[in-house]
Amino acid sequence: MARRLRVVHCGTAAVGHLALRGILEHENLELVGLLAASPEKIGLDVGEILGIAPTRIIATNDIDALVALKPDCFSYFAGAIGREDEAVDQLSAFLCAGTNVVSTSMFSLIDPATSPEIDLVRKLEAACREGGSSMFNSGIEPGFATVHLPATLASLCSEVELLRITEFFNYNSYPVKLIIQDLFGFGLAKDQLPGLFNTELPGSYDKMWGPSIHLLGRILGREIDEIRLVTDFWLAEEPFDMRACHVPKDHIGGIRFEIQGMVGGKPFIIVEHVNYGSDHHPPHWERPVTGNGTYRVTIKGKPNIINSMSFGGEGDEPNVAGRIATAMHTINAIPGVCAAPAGILTIADLPLYASRSKARP
């Protein structure tokens, strides 16, 4: 059996704590350090953070000490929206020292060749060259559901005329205000523009999903000419509460949008979101199969394909399963990333990989 890869982790919030647990449960990985993403975590044992037995690994903000451990990989799950420069500095410290990186924090790096954040890409590419290291950024969506899954399904076709990826998701219990209100717009007044649709802001749709569409287009042998946006909002008929925010009456309580990758003046790839703020609203939109959502890929081609993937809930947090998937699609990639040539990688650069959980007693 090959030696276990040594990993330093950063990020213990909605997705990050699930990634941290995933590292501990992976038979090919060994957690050797934790970079605290927030001051209150400094000095805490990983076990205390996760609610498990002590691990004797203590969270620290001393990045130099963690780099000096010479880990094989740095798994980065800290939020980067609005603090991109600081995040790049943290990532570069490890990359320049020869440590590989996996992350869910830099959406536009899903396809560095078409990322709108050119300066960010150049800095990280330079760090990879200096350290001879590699970096991979992904997640469930954007990531697996917008590239890996549809590309696999398209391998069954002799022709693809239109490929649509749809997320049906009830975000009522999702705990992160930055995503739910600031980006998606839940609880905002109808004349307020959600950050997702303001291309001047970090986290906008062109940075979040544009690179995925370009990468999938290339995998399918097409160059995307442009990215277009179509939006629709549902205003709450009565006030209701989400875990991340309150939604007043006549404020945004549901959001639908399409990000269209155009080829020859027609949509070729569409990433569509149909997102809800509660179980009961909006009544006229198509509903997800389960309470915490469905990803559906629809291919118009030869043959036509409709494929739906739904997550089961866990405990009293019905969307935690989707967050586990977000974390593990990236954590399970670590062995392949560590074996890959230097540079910023896409899913097309990695071998097929899957779960490698430790055997349970």
- 288 and 171 part of one domain: yes
Single-letter amino acid code for the residue at 326: T
DSSP string of 58-101, one letter each residue: BEES-HHHHHHT--SEEEE-S--TT-HHHHHHHHHHHHHTT-EE
DSSP string of 188-216, one letter each residue: -BTTSPPGGG-TTSTT-HHHHTHHHHHHH
Asked if the model's pLDDT at residue 338 lies above 60, the reply is yes
Question: Where would I find the H helices in the chain?
Answer: 16-24, 46-50, 63-68, 84-96, 118-131, 149-154, 177, 205-208, 210-219, 320-331, 334-339
Please tell me the predicted confidence (pLDDT) of residue 357.
Answer: 82
- 111 and 154 part of one domain: no
Nearest to 54 by CA among 97, 24, 82: 24
Q: List beta partners, residue 251.
A: 189
Please tell me the predicted confidence (pLDDT) of residue 98.
Answer: 99
* Residue 114 to residue 142: CA distance in whole angstroms: 15
Please tell me the predicted confidence (pLDDT) of residue 128.
Answer: 99
Q: List beta partners, residue 343.
A: 134
Nearest to 325 by CA among 346, 297, 350, 355: 355
Single-letter amino acid code for the residue at 12: T
- As a whole-number percent, the residues of the chain with pLDDT over 90 amount to 85
Please tell me the predicted confidence (pLDDT) of residue 283.
Answer: 78
- 96 and 178 part of one domain: no
356 lies in some domain: no
User: Is residue 305 within 8 Å of residue 157, measured between CB atoms?
Assistant: yes
| Mean predicted confidence (pLDDT) in 320-328 | 91
* Residue 280 to residue 237: CA distance in whole angstroms: 11
320 lies in some domain: no
Please tell me the predicted confidence (pLDDT) of residue 284.
Answer: 84
Q: Tens of pLDDT along 136-192?
A: 999 999 999 999 999 999 999 999 999 999 999 889 988 899 999 999 999 999 999
- Measured between its terminal Cα atoms, the distance across the chain in Å is 19
Asked if the model's pLDDT at residue 316 lies above 50, the reply is no
* Residue 337 to residue 23: CA distance in whole angstroms: 15
360 lies in some domain: no
- 159 and 282 part of one domain: yes
359 lies in some domain: no
Please tell me the predicted confidence (pLDDT) of residue 100.
Answer: 99
- 341 and 303 part of one domain: no
- 174 and 111 part of one domain: no
pLDDT category of residue 133 using cuts at 50, 70 and 90:
very high
Q: Strand 305-310's sheet: what is its strand order?
A: 226-235, 252-263, 266-276, 159-170, 294-302, 305-310
pLDDT category of residue 315 using cuts at 50, 70 and 90:
low
- Sign of the alpha-carbon torsion through 64, 66, 71, 76: negative
Range of the domain at 122: 5-138+333-349
- Relative orientation angle of helices 16-24 and 320-331, to the nearest 10 degrees: 60
Phi, psi of 163 (to 5 degrees): -125, 125
Q: What share of the chain is helix, strand, coil (3-state, %, to 5)?
A: 30, 30, 40
- 124 and 149 part of one domain: no
Please tell me the predicted confidence (pLDDT) of residue 280.
Answer: 76
Q: Report the CATH number that the domain containing residue 80 is assigned in CATH.
A: 3.40.50.720
Long-range contacts, stretch 52-61, CB < 8 angstroms, 24+ apart: 52/21, 52/24, 55/24, 55/31, 57/31, 57/32, 57/33, 58/34, 59/12, 59/34, 59/35, 60/33, 60/34, 60/35, 60/36, 61/35, 61/36
- 127 and 222 part of one domain: no
- 167 and 301 part of one domain: yes
* Residue 336 to residue 136: CA distance in whole angstroms: 10
Please tell me the predicted confidence (pLDDT) of residue 47.
Answer: 98
Asked if the model's pLDDT at residue 292 lies above 70, the reply is no
Asked if the model's pLDDT at residue 310 lies above 90, the reply is no
- 100 and 183 part of one domain: no
What's the structural domain count of the chain? 2
User: Is residue 19 within 8 Å of residue 331, measured between CB atoms?
Assistant: yes
Distances in Å between the Cα of 229 and the Cα atoms of 24, 194, 257 are 40, 13, 7
- 41 and 71 part of one domain: yes
- pTM of this structure: 0.93
Please tell me the predicted confidence (pLDDT) of residue 354.
Answer: 93
CA geometry: angle at 227 spanning 225 and 231, to 5°?
Answer: 150
Please tell me the predicted confidence (pLDDT) of residue 290.
Answer: 61
pLDDT category of residue 358 using cuts at 50, 70 and 90:
confident
Please tell me the predicted confidence (pLDDT) of residue 311.
Answer: 80
Distances in Å between the Cα of 234 and the Cα atoms of 65, 106, 178, 185 are 50, 29, 20, 11
197 lies in some domain: yes
128 lies in some domain: yes
- 81 and 162 part of one domain: no
Query: How high is the mean pLDDT of the chain?
Result: 94
Chain centroid to CA 356: how far? Answer: 20
Please tell me the predicted confidence (pLDDT) of residue 319.
Answer: 75
CA geometry: angle at 222 spanning 216 and 223, to 5°?
Answer: 90
| Mean predicted confidence (pLDDT) in 204-227 | 97
